[in-house]
Structure 1
Amino acid sequence: MPDPTRAARTSASDTAYALTKDLILTGRLPGGSLISEGEIAHRTHLSRTPVREAFLRLQSEDLLELHPKRGAVVVPVTPGEAEDVLELRQALESAAAARLAGRGLAPRHEAHLRELVDDQRARAAARDVEGFAEVDEEFHRAVVDASGNALSSKFYGTLTDRQRRMSVSALVPRPERLAVLADEHAELLGLLLDRDAAAFAVALAAHLTGTHQPGGAAGRDGGAA
Protein backbone atom coordinates (compact mmCIF):
# COMPACT_ATOMS: atom_id res chain seq x y z
CA MET A 1 0.00 0.00 0.00
CA PRO A 2 1.42 3.43 -0.96
CA ASP A 3 2.74 5.58 1.86
CA PRO A 4 0.94 8.96 1.54
CA THR A 5 3.41 10.64 3.87
CA ARG A 6 6.36 9.57 1.75
CA ALA A 7 4.55 10.61 -1.44
CA ALA A 8 3.85 14.06 -0.01
CA ARG A 9 7.49 14.44 1.05
CA THR A 10 8.65 13.43 -2.44
CA SER A 11 6.32 15.96 -4.04
CA ALA A 12 7.60 18.67 -1.67
CA SER A 13 11.19 17.74 -2.48
CA ASP A 14 10.42 17.97 -6.21
CA THR A 15 8.99 21.45 -5.69
CA ALA A 16 12.10 22.63 -3.84
CA TYR A 17 14.32 20.97 -6.43
CA ALA A 18 12.54 22.59 -9.38
CA LEU A 19 12.65 26.07 -7.85
CA THR A 20 16.29 25.92 -6.81
CA LYS A 21 17.39 24.46 -10.13
CA ASP A 22 15.50 27.14 -12.05
CA LEU A 23 17.19 29.85 -9.98
CA ILE A 24 20.58 28.36 -10.86
CA LEU A 25 19.97 27.75 -14.57
CA THR A 26 18.53 31.21 -15.15
CA GLY A 27 21.45 32.89 -13.43
CA ARG A 28 19.36 34.40 -10.65
CA LEU A 29 21.64 32.36 -8.39
CA PRO A 30 25.00 32.83 -10.14
CA GLY A 31 28.03 30.65 -9.56
CA GLY A 32 29.56 31.21 -6.14
CA SER A 33 26.26 32.26 -4.54
CA LEU A 34 25.52 30.97 -1.05
CA ILE A 35 21.99 29.65 -0.51
CA SER A 36 20.54 28.15 2.65
CA GLU A 37 17.89 25.51 3.19
CA GLY A 38 15.95 28.09 5.17
CA GLU A 39 15.76 30.50 2.22
CA ILE A 40 14.30 27.89 -0.12
CA ALA A 41 12.01 26.58 2.62
CA HIS A 42 10.69 30.12 3.08
CA ARG A 43 10.15 30.63 -0.65
CA THR A 44 8.31 27.35 -1.09
CA HIS A 45 6.53 27.32 2.29
CA LEU A 46 8.07 23.92 3.02
CA SER A 47 9.98 22.40 5.89
CA ARG A 48 13.74 21.98 5.65
CA THR A 49 13.60 18.19 5.19
CA PRO A 50 12.39 18.18 1.56
CA VAL A 51 14.68 21.12 0.80
CA ARG A 52 17.63 19.14 2.13
CA GLU A 53 16.67 16.25 -0.16
CA ALA A 54 16.46 18.65 -3.09
CA PHE A 55 19.90 20.06 -2.29
CA LEU A 56 21.35 16.55 -2.25
CA ARG A 57 19.93 15.92 -5.72
CA LEU A 58 21.42 19.16 -7.01
CA GLN A 59 24.76 18.26 -5.45
CA SER A 60 24.70 14.95 -7.35
CA GLU A 61 24.20 16.99 -10.55
CA ASP A 62 27.22 19.18 -9.73
CA LEU A 63 25.05 22.28 -9.39
CA LEU A 64 25.46 22.73 -5.62
CA GLU A 65 28.29 22.13 -3.18
CA LEU A 66 26.98 21.51 0.33
CA HIS A 67 28.70 22.89 3.42
CA PRO A 68 27.38 21.62 6.77
CA LYS A 69 26.00 24.41 8.99
CA ARG A 70 26.77 27.01 6.31
CA GLY A 71 24.41 26.15 3.48
CA ALA A 72 25.15 25.43 -0.16
CA VAL A 73 27.29 27.18 -2.76
CA VAL A 74 26.26 27.28 -6.42
CA VAL A 75 28.99 25.54 -8.40
CA PRO A 76 30.22 27.87 -11.16
CA VAL A 77 30.87 26.75 -14.72
CA THR A 78 34.65 27.01 -14.94
CA PRO A 79 36.41 28.17 -18.12
CA GLY A 80 37.80 24.67 -18.65
CA GLU A 81 34.38 23.08 -18.27
CA ALA A 82 32.84 25.62 -20.65
CA GLU A 83 35.48 24.80 -23.25
CA ASP A 84 34.74 21.09 -22.87
CA VAL A 85 31.00 21.70 -23.34
CA LEU A 86 31.59 23.73 -26.50
CA GLU A 87 33.91 21.10 -27.92
CA LEU A 88 31.32 18.37 -27.35
CA ARG A 89 28.50 20.46 -28.79
CA GLN A 90 30.55 21.17 -31.92
CA ALA A 91 31.32 17.47 -32.36
CA LEU A 92 27.79 16.20 -31.76
CA GLU A 93 25.97 18.82 -33.83
CA SER A 94 28.45 18.58 -36.71
CA ALA A 95 28.10 14.79 -36.70
CA ALA A 96 24.32 15.21 -36.80
CA ALA A 97 24.62 17.55 -39.79
CA ALA A 98 26.85 15.04 -41.59
CA ARG A 99 24.29 12.28 -41.08
CA LEU A 100 21.45 14.57 -42.18
CA ALA A 101 23.40 15.46 -45.32
CA GLY A 102 23.01 11.85 -46.37
CA ARG A 103 19.38 11.27 -45.49
CA GLY A 104 17.89 14.77 -45.52
CA LEU A 105 15.89 16.56 -42.86
CA ALA A 106 12.48 14.97 -42.30
CA PRO A 107 9.52 17.35 -42.78
CA ARG A 108 8.44 17.03 -39.14
CA HIS A 109 11.92 17.97 -37.91
CA GLU A 110 12.09 20.89 -40.33
CA ALA A 111 8.71 22.13 -39.11
CA HIS A 112 9.81 21.85 -35.48
CA LEU A 113 13.04 23.74 -36.09
CA ARG A 114 11.18 26.48 -37.96
CA GLU A 115 8.76 26.81 -35.04
CA LEU A 116 11.68 27.17 -32.66
CA VAL A 117 13.25 29.91 -34.79
CA ASP A 118 9.91 31.75 -34.85
CA ASP A 119 9.70 31.37 -31.06
CA GLN A 120 13.19 32.81 -30.74
CA ARG A 121 12.25 35.82 -32.85
CA ALA A 122 9.25 36.51 -30.59
CA ARG A 123 11.39 36.20 -27.46
CA ALA A 124 14.05 38.41 -29.02
CA ALA A 125 11.44 41.10 -29.69
CA ALA A 126 10.44 40.90 -26.02
CA ARG A 127 14.08 40.77 -24.89
CA ASP A 128 13.23 37.64 -22.95
CA VAL A 129 16.76 36.40 -22.27
CA GLU A 130 15.79 33.46 -20.05
CA GLY A 131 13.14 32.26 -22.45
CA PHE A 132 15.44 32.71 -25.44
CA ALA A 133 18.19 30.69 -23.78
CA GLU A 134 15.74 27.86 -23.11
CA VAL A 135 14.54 27.78 -26.73
CA ASP A 136 18.14 28.10 -27.94
CA GLU A 137 19.02 24.91 -26.08
CA GLU A 138 15.95 23.20 -27.52
CA PHE A 139 16.89 24.23 -31.07
CA HIS A 140 20.40 22.80 -30.90
CA ARG A 141 19.17 19.63 -29.20
CA ALA A 142 16.52 19.25 -31.92
CA VAL A 143 19.29 19.26 -34.55
CA VAL A 144 20.94 16.30 -32.85
CA ASP A 145 17.60 14.53 -32.35
CA ALA A 146 16.76 14.96 -36.04
CA SER A 147 19.80 12.89 -36.99
CA GLY A 148 18.20 9.80 -35.46
CA ASN A 149 21.29 8.88 -33.41
CA ALA A 150 19.74 7.92 -30.07
CA LEU A 151 23.11 7.68 -28.29
CA SER A 152 24.09 11.17 -29.42
CA SER A 153 20.72 12.54 -28.30
CA LYS A 154 21.05 10.92 -24.90
CA PHE A 155 24.55 12.26 -24.36
CA TYR A 156 23.65 15.72 -25.66
CA GLY A 157 20.86 15.81 -23.08
CA THR A 158 23.47 15.64 -20.32
CA LEU A 159 24.84 19.00 -21.49
CA THR A 160 21.49 20.79 -21.22
CA ASP A 161 21.92 22.38 -17.79
CA ARG A 162 25.42 23.66 -18.48
CA GLN A 163 24.39 24.91 -21.91
CA ARG A 164 21.51 26.99 -20.52
CA ARG A 165 23.64 28.48 -17.75
CA MET A 166 26.35 29.44 -20.24
CA SER A 167 23.85 30.96 -22.66
CA VAL A 168 22.11 33.06 -20.01
CA SER A 169 25.47 34.34 -18.79
CA ALA A 170 26.44 35.31 -22.34
CA LEU A 171 23.12 36.89 -23.27
CA VAL A 172 22.21 38.95 -20.19
CA PRO A 173 24.76 41.72 -20.94
CA ARG A 174 23.57 42.09 -24.56
CA PRO A 175 19.86 41.37 -25.04
CA GLU A 176 19.84 43.61 -28.11
CA ARG A 177 21.68 40.84 -29.98
CA LEU A 178 18.90 38.27 -29.62
CA ALA A 179 17.36 39.05 -33.03
CA VAL A 180 20.73 38.51 -34.71
CA LEU A 181 21.07 35.18 -32.96
CA ALA A 182 17.68 34.05 -34.23
CA ASP A 183 18.91 34.87 -37.75
CA GLU A 184 22.00 32.73 -37.15
CA HIS A 185 19.80 29.80 -36.15
CA ALA A 186 17.75 30.29 -39.31
CA GLU A 187 21.01 30.17 -41.27
CA LEU A 188 22.01 26.90 -39.59
CA LEU A 189 18.62 25.43 -40.49
CA GLY A 190 19.08 26.52 -44.10
CA LEU A 191 22.43 24.74 -44.26
CA LEU A 192 20.82 21.56 -42.96
CA LEU A 193 18.18 21.80 -45.68
CA ASP A 194 20.95 22.32 -48.25
CA ARG A 195 22.66 19.19 -46.89
CA ASP A 196 25.88 21.19 -46.59
CA ALA A 197 27.48 19.60 -43.54
CA ALA A 198 30.85 21.30 -44.08
CA ALA A 199 29.33 24.79 -44.17
CA PHE A 200 27.14 23.92 -41.18
CA ALA A 201 30.21 22.95 -39.13
CA VAL A 202 31.96 26.21 -40.01
CA ALA A 203 28.89 28.32 -39.23
CA LEU A 204 28.32 26.45 -35.96
CA ALA A 205 31.92 27.00 -34.86
CA ALA A 206 31.60 30.74 -35.47
CA HIS A 207 28.24 30.74 -33.70
CA LEU A 208 29.59 29.07 -30.58
CA THR A 209 32.91 30.93 -30.53
CA GLY A 210 31.17 34.28 -30.87
CA THR A 211 28.97 33.40 -27.91
CA HIS A 212 31.32 32.07 -25.32
CA GLN A 213 34.83 33.16 -26.27
CA PRO A 214 35.16 36.96 -26.05
CA GLY A 215 38.40 36.86 -28.02
CA GLY A 216 36.59 35.59 -31.12
CA ALA A 217 35.59 37.95 -33.90
CA ALA A 218 31.90 37.63 -33.20
CA GLY A 219 32.57 37.86 -29.47
CA ARG A 220 34.27 41.23 -29.92
CA ASP A 221 31.20 42.31 -31.84
CA GLY A 222 28.92 41.23 -29.01
CA GLY A 223 27.63 37.93 -30.41
CA ALA A 224 25.88 35.25 -28.35
CA ALA A 225 23.90 32.11 -28.93
Structure 2
Amino acid sequence: MSHASGESAAERVYAEVKERILTNEIAGGELISEGEIAARCSVSRTPVREAFLRLETEGWMRLYPKRGALVVPIGDRETRDVIDARLLLERHAVRSVVARPGAVADLVGRLRDNLDAHRRADPADVQQFSRIDAEFHQLIAAAGDNPLLSDFYSTLGERHRRMTTASVHRDANVAARILDDHCALLGAVEAADAERFGELLAGHLAAVHDLPGRDLPGASA
Protein backbone atom coordinates (compact mmCIF):
# COMPACT_ATOMS: atom_id res chain seq x y z
CA MET A 1 0.00 0.00 0.00
CA SER A 2 1.27 3.50 -0.83
CA HIS A 3 1.71 6.12 1.88
CA ALA A 4 -1.35 8.07 0.88
CA SER A 5 -2.69 10.85 3.07
CA GLY A 6 -5.85 10.28 5.09
CA GLU A 7 -7.76 12.46 2.65
CA SER A 8 -6.61 10.54 -0.44
CA ALA A 9 -7.25 7.22 1.29
CA ALA A 10 -10.80 8.33 2.11
CA GLU A 11 -11.28 9.40 -1.49
CA ARG A 12 -10.07 6.02 -2.73
CA VAL A 13 -12.36 4.13 -0.35
CA TYR A 14 -15.27 6.36 -1.32
CA ALA A 15 -14.70 5.72 -5.04
CA GLU A 16 -14.32 1.96 -4.61
CA VAL A 17 -17.35 1.47 -2.37
CA LYS A 18 -19.51 3.72 -4.52
CA GLU A 19 -18.54 1.81 -7.67
CA ARG A 20 -19.43 -1.46 -5.96
CA ILE A 21 -22.83 -0.01 -5.03
CA LEU A 22 -23.44 1.26 -8.58
CA THR A 23 -22.60 -2.15 -10.06
CA ASN A 24 -24.58 -4.02 -7.39
CA GLU A 25 -21.53 -5.86 -6.10
CA ILE A 26 -22.86 -4.48 -2.84
CA ALA A 27 -26.61 -4.85 -3.20
CA GLY A 28 -29.27 -2.56 -1.85
CA GLY A 29 -30.34 -3.67 1.61
CA GLU A 30 -26.92 -5.13 2.44
CA LEU A 31 -25.29 -4.14 5.74
CA ILE A 32 -21.53 -3.60 5.58
CA SER A 33 -19.06 -2.75 8.32
CA GLU A 34 -16.16 -0.33 8.56
CA GLY A 35 -13.86 -3.23 9.46
CA GLU A 36 -14.87 -5.24 6.41
CA ILE A 37 -14.17 -2.36 4.02
CA ALA A 38 -10.99 -1.32 5.85
CA ALA A 39 -9.60 -4.85 5.39
CA ARG A 40 -10.62 -4.96 1.75
CA CYS A 41 -9.03 -1.59 0.96
CA SER A 42 -5.99 -2.07 3.23
CA VAL A 43 -6.63 1.12 5.19
CA SER A 44 -7.51 2.03 8.76
CA ARG A 45 -11.09 2.64 9.80
CA THR A 46 -10.72 6.43 9.78
CA PRO A 47 -10.81 6.92 5.98
CA VAL A 48 -13.58 4.32 5.76
CA ARG A 49 -15.64 6.31 8.27
CA GLU A 50 -15.07 9.49 6.23
CA ALA A 51 -16.07 7.71 3.03
CA PHE A 52 -19.21 6.30 4.65
CA LEU A 53 -20.25 9.74 5.90
CA ARG A 54 -19.91 11.13 2.38
CA LEU A 55 -21.91 8.25 0.91
CA GLU A 56 -24.61 8.81 3.52
CA THR A 57 -24.78 12.51 2.63
CA GLU A 58 -25.27 11.58 -1.03
CA GLY A 59 -28.07 9.17 -0.14
CA TRP A 60 -26.36 5.88 -0.94
CA MET A 61 -26.11 4.66 2.67
CA ARG A 62 -27.70 4.92 6.08
CA LEU A 63 -25.30 4.63 9.02
CA TYR A 64 -26.18 2.77 12.20
CA PRO A 65 -23.72 3.23 15.10
CA LYS A 66 -22.03 -0.01 16.20
CA ARG A 67 -23.91 -1.95 13.50
CA GLY A 68 -22.56 -0.70 10.20
CA ALA A 69 -23.82 0.95 7.04
CA LEU A 70 -26.96 -0.10 5.20
CA VAL A 71 -26.85 0.35 1.44
CA VAL A 72 -30.09 2.11 0.54
CA PRO A 73 -32.14 -0.04 -1.86
CA ILE A 74 -33.47 1.37 -5.12
CA GLY A 75 -37.03 2.34 -4.30
CA ASP A 76 -40.01 2.23 -6.65
CA ARG A 77 -40.41 6.01 -6.39
CA GLU A 78 -36.76 6.61 -7.28
CA THR A 79 -37.03 4.27 -10.26
CA ARG A 80 -40.14 5.97 -11.55
CA ASP A 81 -38.76 9.49 -11.05
CA VAL A 82 -35.50 8.70 -12.86
CA ILE A 83 -37.38 7.10 -15.75
CA ASP A 84 -39.81 10.02 -16.03
CA ALA A 85 -36.88 12.45 -16.21
CA ARG A 86 -35.08 10.35 -18.82
CA LEU A 87 -38.19 10.09 -20.98
CA LEU A 88 -38.71 13.85 -20.96
CA LEU A 89 -35.09 14.69 -21.70
CA GLU A 90 -34.39 12.06 -24.37
CA ARG A 91 -37.65 12.71 -26.21
CA HIS A 92 -36.92 16.43 -26.22
CA ALA A 93 -33.40 15.79 -27.49
CA VAL A 94 -34.56 13.62 -30.40
CA ARG A 95 -37.22 16.15 -31.40
CA SER A 96 -34.46 18.75 -31.49
CA VAL A 97 -32.17 16.49 -33.51
CA VAL A 98 -34.72 15.70 -36.24
CA ALA A 99 -35.43 19.42 -36.63
CA ARG A 100 -31.78 20.20 -37.53
CA PRO A 101 -30.35 19.17 -40.91
CA GLY A 102 -27.21 17.11 -40.46
CA ALA A 103 -27.77 16.42 -36.76
CA VAL A 104 -29.46 13.07 -37.43
CA ALA A 105 -26.53 11.63 -39.37
CA ASP A 106 -24.06 12.79 -36.74
CA LEU A 107 -26.02 11.19 -33.88
CA VAL A 108 -26.58 7.99 -35.86
CA GLY A 109 -22.83 7.66 -36.40
CA ARG A 110 -22.11 8.08 -32.69
CA LEU A 111 -24.81 5.60 -31.71
CA ARG A 112 -23.52 3.04 -34.22
CA ASP A 113 -20.05 3.31 -32.67
CA ASN A 114 -21.59 2.76 -29.25
CA LEU A 115 -23.49 -0.31 -30.43
CA ASP A 116 -20.31 -1.73 -31.97
CA ALA A 117 -18.59 -1.35 -28.58
CA HIS A 118 -21.62 -2.94 -26.94
CA ARG A 119 -21.43 -5.99 -29.18
CA ARG A 120 -17.70 -6.40 -28.49
CA ALA A 121 -18.14 -6.13 -24.72
CA ASP A 122 -18.13 -9.22 -22.51
CA PRO A 123 -21.75 -9.68 -21.35
CA ALA A 124 -20.44 -10.93 -18.00
CA ASP A 125 -18.63 -7.63 -17.37
CA VAL A 126 -21.54 -5.78 -15.79
CA GLN A 127 -19.41 -2.73 -15.00
CA GLN A 128 -18.45 -2.22 -18.64
CA PHE A 129 -21.93 -3.13 -19.87
CA SER A 130 -23.62 -0.54 -17.66
CA ARG A 131 -21.11 2.14 -18.69
CA ILE A 132 -21.74 1.55 -22.41
CA ASP A 133 -25.51 1.46 -21.82
CA ALA A 134 -25.42 4.79 -20.00
CA GLU A 135 -23.23 6.29 -22.73
CA PHE A 136 -25.79 5.37 -25.43
CA HIS A 137 -28.48 7.41 -23.72
CA GLN A 138 -26.12 10.25 -22.79
CA LEU A 139 -25.17 10.60 -26.47
CA ILE A 140 -28.85 11.11 -27.27
CA ALA A 141 -29.32 13.69 -24.51
CA ALA A 142 -26.18 15.60 -25.55
CA ALA A 143 -27.33 15.72 -29.19
CA GLY A 144 -30.30 17.85 -28.14
CA ASP A 145 -28.05 20.91 -28.29
CA ASN A 146 -29.16 22.20 -24.88
CA PRO A 147 -26.17 22.18 -22.50
CA LEU A 148 -28.33 22.81 -19.42
CA LEU A 149 -30.54 19.79 -20.10
CA SER A 150 -27.55 17.67 -21.10
CA ASP A 151 -25.76 18.53 -17.85
CA PHE A 152 -28.87 17.68 -15.85
CA TYR A 153 -29.15 14.36 -17.67
CA SER A 154 -25.55 13.58 -16.73
CA THR A 155 -26.49 13.90 -13.05
CA LEU A 156 -28.82 10.95 -13.55
CA GLY A 157 -25.96 8.81 -14.85
CA GLU A 158 -25.05 7.12 -11.57
CA ARG A 159 -28.65 6.24 -10.75
CA HIS A 160 -29.10 5.04 -14.33
CA ARG A 161 -26.09 2.72 -14.03
CA ARG A 162 -27.23 1.30 -10.71
CA MET A 163 -30.73 0.63 -11.98
CA THR A 164 -29.36 -1.09 -15.09
CA THR A 165 -26.97 -3.34 -13.20
CA ALA A 166 -29.74 -4.26 -10.75
CA SER A 167 -31.93 -5.26 -13.71
CA VAL A 168 -29.13 -7.34 -15.27
CA HIS A 169 -28.54 -9.13 -11.97
CA ARG A 170 -32.27 -9.76 -11.61
CA ASP A 171 -32.74 -11.23 -15.10
CA ALA A 172 -29.93 -12.54 -17.31
CA ASN A 173 -32.05 -11.89 -20.43
CA VAL A 174 -32.10 -8.13 -19.79
CA ALA A 175 -28.65 -7.58 -21.32
CA ALA A 176 -29.72 -8.99 -24.69
CA ARG A 177 -32.98 -7.04 -24.47
CA ILE A 178 -31.09 -3.79 -23.95
CA LEU A 179 -28.92 -4.33 -27.01
CA ASP A 180 -31.93 -5.21 -29.18
CA ASP A 181 -33.85 -2.18 -27.91
CA HIS A 182 -30.91 0.12 -28.57
CA CYS A 183 -30.81 -1.11 -32.18
CA ALA A 184 -34.52 -0.26 -32.52
CA LEU A 185 -34.01 3.18 -30.94
CA LEU A 186 -31.18 3.84 -33.37
CA GLY A 187 -33.50 2.89 -36.24
CA ALA A 188 -36.07 5.44 -35.09
CA VAL A 189 -33.43 8.16 -34.90
CA GLU A 190 -32.11 7.25 -38.34
CA ALA A 191 -35.68 7.48 -39.71
CA ALA A 192 -36.02 10.91 -38.04
CA ASP A 193 -39.18 9.60 -36.34
CA ALA A 194 -39.27 11.30 -32.96
CA GLU A 195 -42.72 9.95 -32.08
CA ARG A 196 -41.67 6.36 -32.75
CA PHE A 197 -38.50 6.93 -30.74
CA GLY A 198 -40.58 8.10 -27.76
CA GLU A 199 -42.83 5.05 -27.93
CA LEU A 200 -39.86 2.68 -28.16
CA LEU A 201 -38.04 4.42 -25.32
CA ALA A 202 -41.04 4.17 -22.99
CA GLY A 203 -41.38 0.45 -23.71
CA HIS A 204 -37.63 -0.07 -23.35
CA LEU A 205 -37.41 1.58 -19.94
CA ALA A 206 -40.55 -0.12 -18.65
CA ALA A 207 -39.31 -3.58 -19.67
CA VAL A 208 -35.69 -3.20 -18.54
CA HIS A 209 -36.63 -1.78 -15.16
CA ASP A 210 -39.67 -4.03 -14.65
CA LEU A 211 -42.34 -1.33 -14.67
CA PRO A 212 -45.76 -1.63 -16.32
CA GLY A 213 -45.46 0.25 -19.62
CA ARG A 214 -48.94 1.72 -19.26
CA ASP A 215 -47.77 3.64 -16.18
CA LEU A 216 -45.13 5.60 -18.08
CA PRO A 217 -46.06 8.95 -19.63
CA GLY A 218 -46.70 8.56 -23.35
CA ALA A 219 -46.31 4.78 -23.35
CA SER A 220 -48.68 2.69 -25.41
CA ALA A 221 -51.49 1.07 -23.44
1:10 Cα shift? Answer: 2.1
For residues 73 and 199 of structure 2, what CA distance do their matches in structure 1 show? 29
When residues 83 and 52 of structure 1 are mapped into structure 2, their CA distance, relative to the original with a 3 A threshold, is same
What is aligned with 1:84? Answer: 81
* 1:116-175 CA-partner distances (Å, limit 9, x unpaired): 11122223x644333222211111111101212111111112211211111111112333
* 1:94-131 CA-partner distances (Å, limit 9, x unpaired): 011111111143655443322211122223x6443332
1:200 Cα shift? Answer: 0.7
Q: What aligned pairs does 1:1-225 form with structure 2 within 5 A after superposition?
A: 8-103=5-100, 104-105=102-103, 109-123=107-121, 126-216=123-213
Give TM-score scaled by structure 1 length.
0.85
Please state whether the residue corresponding to 1:32 is helix, strand or coil: coil
Paired-residue identity, %: 42
For residues 212 and 177 of structure 1, what CA distance do their matches in structure 2 show? 9
Give TM-score scaled by structure 2 length.
0.87
Paired letter, 1:14: E
In angstroms, what is the RMSD of aligned CA positions?
Answer: 2.1
CA contact (8 A) 2:104 2:189 kept: no
For residues 91 and 135 of structure 2, what CA distance do their matches in structure 1 show? 16
For residues 179 and 97 of structure 2, what CA distance do their matches in structure 1 show? 21
Count matched residues: 211
Paired letter, 2:58: E
CA contact (8 A) 1:210 1:216 kept: yes
Please state whether the residue corresponding to 2:103 is helix, strand or coil: coil
What is aligned with 1:222? Answer: none
When residues 121 and 175 of structure 1 are mapped into structure 2, their CA distance, relative to the original with a 3 A threshold, is farther
